[in-house]
Chains A and B, each alone.
Chain A
C-alpha cells in the first residue's frame, strides 16, 4: 500500500511539474470538438444528435494520445527498470501509475466535458449520464491503455501501433458510454449501461495491470 501511494504521488508530482502535457491533452480535446460545428454545419439539432458520440470519441482519443506518458519517459531515464526490480509486485506499481494517469487525464477530461457539451448543444438531460459514464469508463481506458503502452515499449512507430491495438478494445466502452446518453435522451433508463461499464472496470482493475506488468517486464529486458 505504501509502495502504491509512493508511486502514485511520484507520478502525480511528475505530471504536475510537466503540466504542459496535461494542457496539450485538454487543448486537443477542446479544439478537436470545436472542429465539428464546422465539419457538419452549425445546425443545433445535428450537433445535439452527435454530441455524446463526439465527446466520447474525443475523450478516447485524448486518453490514447497521452498513453506514451505512462512508461516512455521512465523507460528512457531508467527508472522503469528500477521499478521493475523493486520488491513490490510490478502489477501494483503499474496500477499506481495508471491511477496517476487517470487523475491527470481522465479526471480533467471529465471536468472539461460539460464545456464541450455546451459547445455542441448537448441537451440538458444528458449531462449527468455523460459524466457518470465518463467517470466509469475513462479509468478502464487508462487501464487498457497501460497494456497497449506496455506492449509497444521499444516498438517501431509505437504511437500508431498503440492506436491499432487499443482502439478495438475501447469499442465496448464507447458503445455503452454513448448508448447510455442516447438512452436517457430518448427517455430510457441508463442503468444497464452503467452496470456494464462498472463490470468492465471491475474486471480490468485486476487483469489489465497483470498483462501490462508482463509486457513492461519484457520491454525493460529487451
Chain B
C-alpha cells in the first residue's frame, strides 16, 4: 500500500484508469436518469416527488464519503507524512462541499412537498449543515497561508477533528426522534434499536416490505443503485482530475524553489 504513496506512481495508475471510469460513468448516468425519471414507478405516498431520492441519497452518501476520504488522507499525511494523503484530501474537499450542497438543496426541495417545510432544525439536517461548514472551514484554512504548503498540516488536523461529525450524521436519525426518516438502504445495520419513532411511524407496511428484503421496492432500488454507481464514479473522476491539478501545482512550486526532479520522477 505504501508503494502507491508515491504521488507520481499513483498518478500514473489513476491516469490510466480515468478513461475507463468516464466510459463507465456516462452510461450509468444515462441509465440511472432514464430509469429514475421515466421507467420507475411513482411512490404510493409521495407520488412523483420520490424521484428526488435518486439525486439526494447518492449525493448525501458521497458528501460523507468525500469527508471520510479527506480525513483518511489527512490522517495518513499526519501519521506517515505521505504527501499523497494531503493531495487527496485537498482534492476531495471542494468536490465533497459541492455534493453536500446539492444534498442540502435537493433535500430542502424534497422536504417542502413531503414534510411541508423546506428546513427543520432536527439532528440529521443540522449535522449535515455542520458537515457543509466543515468543508468550507477546511478549504479556507488550507488556503489561508501565504506559503500554500504551510496550510496543509492545520487543514489536515481540522479534517481529522471534524470526523466526529460523520457518526453523528449517520446515527442522528436513530438516537433522536428526528423528522428525517430512518435509513432505507442501510437500516438493517442498526437492527431493532429504533425507538418510539419506529413504532409510531412504521406501521405494518414496513414489516410487509421488510419480508421482501428491503423497504425499497426493487423497481426503485434499481435506479437508485445506478445513480449510486454513476455518482461514485463521477466523484472518483473529479478526484483524479483535481489530483492532477494539485500534483502539478506542487511540482510547479518545487521547480520554482529550485528543486531538480530526478529523471524517472518526471
Contacts and interface: CB of A to CB of B under 8 A. Distances in A.
Interface in B119-173: 126, 130, 133-134, 136-137, 140-141, 144-147, 150-151, 153-155, 157-158, 160-162
Nearest to B153: A218
A155 interface: yes
A182 to B, nearest CB: 13
**Which of A150, A151, A207 has most chain B Cβ within 10 Å?**
A151
A168 B161 CA distance: 12
A222 interface: yes
Interface string A202-222: 000001000100110011001
A219 B151 CA distance: 10
B137 A152 contact: no
B78 interface: yes
B140 A214 contact: no
B133 A168 contact: yes
Nearest to A208: B161
A164 B157 contact: no
Interface of A is mostly: helix
Given A152-B144, A164-B137, A222 B161 contact: no
A168 B134 contact: yes
Interface size band for A: 20 to 34
Contacts of A158: 144
Nearest to A171: B130
Interface residues of B, number: 23
Interface string A163-174: 011011101000
A152 B161 CA distance: 15
B127 to A, nearest CB: 9
A154 B149 CA distance: 13
**Which of B130, B140, B157 has most chain A Cβ within 10 Å?**
B157
Given A154-B150, A156-B146, A168-B133, A215 B157 contact: yes
B180 to A, nearest CB: 16
B141 A161 contact: yes
A157 B157 contact: no
A8 interface: no
A165 B158 contact: yes
Interface in A176-222: 207, 211, 214-215, 218-219, 222
**Which of A171, A175, A207 has most chain B Cβ within 10 Å?**
A171
A150 B161 CA distance: 13
Contacts of A156: 144-146
A147 B145 contact: no
A151 B158 contact: yes
Given A171-B130, A175-B126, A218-B154, A211 B160 contact: yes
Contact of B141 (A165, A167, A171, A211): A165
Interface of B: 78, 126, 130, 133-134, 136-137, 140-141, 144-147, 150-151, 153-155, 157-158, 160-162
Given A207-B161, A214-B78, 20 more contacts: A147-B161, A151-B155, A152-B141, A152-B144, A153-B154, A154-B150, A155-B141, A156-B146, A157-B144, A158-B144, A161-B140, A164-B137, A164-B140, A168-B134, A169-B161, A171-B126, A214-B153, A215-B153, A218-B154, A219-B154
Q: Which 8 A/B pairs are nearest by Cβ-Cβ distance?
A: A168-B133, A155-B144, A151-B154, A218-B153, A165-B137, A168-B130, A164-B137, A211-B161
